[in-house]
């Protein structure tokens, strides 16, 4: 059966898309077509690399390769997500859900800038991309939605093989025999990053089951995102290895909550989100014990909740954030489950949100909106925080 033309949808397709509130993908298709030159740009840059050692490449050649790599990865991600949506819903080819439109726009929208940088470096032998931009760059923000559409997961799985292959080829080119010790250390560091990415993918693949499980879906998605982030940076570092000598900090490993620590698991702790410094107080409070129990019962995606907590724990271990006490001695948020308060010490991203130095925040989870038809709340709340005598038990029945 021929694939419908996304640029020439039928009237029936338009009616279906309108009923589902999907957005016209005509703009995305135009961006897809314009960005296809990323493939040739990467081939041209790789030819320039083959002509000499990547260690001896001029800043212009290194910048051309780095920028074309970034354009290539973003083009692959955008195309695989569009194609995955069309395959999942052939009745609305040419239209996509709002979240898909937003994510593909983020990726395709960044391709043009990297293509321009690659061509500037190719045409100007004195060009130094690292003097203009903070490198290596990260992927554009992931559009968060709960639940994440299955086609997004399918797209991430489809994007892994070509991105992984090109990253590993670039890494192999750095590892020629006879490297001096300082260069071997750089190559070994990149190999370790590549092994971490591969392990994240293997872990994600091992979690797949025939029956859809939202908790496992979240873990799979997080691991695939982490692998793609790592390979995106590996490709840049292989193109411009001098970046590894200028204080580079690799992306933090994906938050991987232990399945056994989720509700129903053998190691589940209902107080996992509670501030350790005030934990004894809440454990001794009968109403607090009931509130925490009910909070977990209403949580529609505890894997996502624990993934957010794992991100915070990883930032804490890395020294990017620190627990604080506010004036009056308070250390926790006033709502159930009474999480710890934190202050940012180094710029950090948690739950897809960038946090600045000295910013105060905590993780808020609540079932308060459920009786009115709302959803379970899972969000970062920022300060500054002030002392209060109020205690909110977040009772879904409306009692506080």
- pLDDT digits 0-9 by tens, 2-29: 667 787 778 887 887 778 788 888 999 9
Greatest extent of the chain over all pairs of C-alpha atoms, in Å: 72
Q: How confident is the model at residue 399 (pLDDT cuts 50, 70, 90)?
A: very low
- pLDDT digits 0-9 by tens, 176-192: 656 777 788 888 888 99
Q: Please, what is the angle between helix 26-35 and helix 37-50, to 10°?
A: 20
Mean pLDDT computed over 270-280: 93
- pLDDT digits 0-9 by tens, 300-313: 888 888 888 988 99
Cα–Cα distances (Å) from 61 to 44, 101, 130, 142, 205, in that order, read 11, 34, 12, 30, 37
Q: Which residues contact 198 (CB under 8 A, 6 or more apart)?
A: 164, 227
pLDDT reported for residue 395: 64
pLDDT reported for residue 400: 44
pLDDT reported for residue 189: 84
- pLDDT digits 0-9 by tens, 205-249: 887 766 666 667 777 888 898 899 999 999 999 999 888 877 666
How far apart CA 83 and CA 98 sit, in angstroms, is: 15
pLDDT reading at 55 higher than 50 = yes
How far apart CA 349 and CA 351 sit, in angstroms, is: 7
pLDDT reported for residue 250: 64
134: buried, middle or exposed (CB in 10 Å: 19+, 13-18, 0-12)? exposed
Q: Please, what is the angle between helix 59-88 and helix 37-50, to 10°?
A: 150
CB 259 within 8 Å of CB 215: yes
Distance in angstroms between the alpha carbons of the first and the last residue of the chain: 59
List the one residue out of 199, 161, 202 whose CA is nearest residue 191.
199
CB 274 within 8 Å of CB 292: yes
Domain boundaries, the chain: 11-245, 259-382
13-17: long-range pairs with CB below 8 Å, 24+: 13/91, 13/92, 13/93, 13/94, 13/95, 14/95, 16/91, 16/92, 16/95, 17/92, 17/94, 17/95
pLDDT reading at 92 higher than 60 = yes
Tokens of 169: 């080829």
**Mean pLDDT of all residues in the chain?**
85
- pLDDT digits 0-9 by tens, 374-386: 888 889 998 888 8
Share of the chain above pLDDT 70, in %: 90
- pLDDT digits 0-9 by tens, 124-134: 999 999 888 87
Q: What is the chain's length?
A: 400
pLDDT reported for residue 323: 93
Radius of gyration of the chain from Cα atoms? 24
Q: Which helix (H) or strand (E) holds 79?
A: helix 59-88
CB 108 within 8 Å of CB 74: yes
Q: Which residues contact 291 (CB under 8 A, 6 or more apart)?
A: 336, 337, 393, 394, 395
Which residue do the tokens 């925040």 mark? 361
Mean pLDDT computed over 141-161: 82
């Amino acid at each position: 059966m021929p694939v419908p033309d996304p640029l020439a949808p039928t009237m029936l397709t338009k009616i279906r898309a309108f009923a589902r509130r999907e957005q016209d993908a005509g703009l995305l298709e135009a961006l897809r077509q314009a960005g296809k030159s990323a493939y040739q740009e990467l081939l041209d840059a790789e030819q320039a690399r083959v002509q000499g050692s990547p260690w001896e490449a001029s800043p212009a050649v290194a910048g051309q390769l780095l920028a074309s790599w970034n354009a290539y990865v973003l083009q692959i991600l955008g195309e695989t997500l569009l194609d995955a949506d069309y395959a999942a819903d052939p009745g609305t080819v040419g239209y996509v859900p709002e979240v898909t439109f937003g994510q593909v726009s983020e990726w395709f929208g960044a391709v043009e800038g990297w293509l321009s940088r690659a061509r500037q470096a190719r045409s100007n032998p004195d060009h130094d991309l690292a003097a203009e931009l903070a490198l290596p760059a990260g992927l554009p923000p992931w559009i968060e939605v709960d639940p994440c559409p299955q086609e997004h997961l399918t797209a991430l799985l489809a994007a892994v093989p070509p991105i992984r292959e090109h990253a590993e080829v670039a890494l192999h080119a750095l590892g020629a025999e006879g490297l001096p010790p300082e260069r071997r250390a750089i190559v070994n560091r990149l190999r370790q990053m590549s092994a971490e990415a591969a392990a994240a993918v293997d872990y994600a693949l091992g979690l797949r089951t025939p029956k859809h499980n939202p908790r496992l879906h979240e873990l799979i998605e997080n691991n695939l995102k982490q692998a793609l982030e790592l390979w995106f940076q590996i490709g840049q570092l292989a193109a411009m290895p001098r970046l590894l000598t200028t204080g580079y900090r690799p992306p933090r490993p994906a938050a991987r909550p232990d399945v056994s620590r989720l509700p129903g698991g053998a190691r589940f702790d209902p107080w996992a989100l509670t501030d350790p410094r005030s934990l004894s107080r809440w454990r001794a409070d009968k109403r607090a014990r009931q509130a925490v129990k009910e909070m977990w019962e209403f949580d529609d995606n505890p894997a996502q909740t624990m993934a957010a907590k794992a991100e915070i724990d990883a930032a804490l271990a890395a020294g990017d954030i620190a627990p604080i006490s506010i004036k009056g001695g308070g250390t926790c948020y006033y709502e159930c489950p009474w999480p710890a308060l934190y202050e940012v010490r180094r710029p950090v991203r948690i739950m897809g949100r960038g946090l600045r130095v000295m910013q105060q925040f905590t993780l808020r989870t609540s079932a308060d909106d459920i009786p009115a038809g709302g959803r379970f709340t899972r969000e970062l709340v920022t300060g500054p925080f002030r002392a209060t005598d109020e205690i909110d038990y977040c009772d879904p029945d409306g009692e506080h």
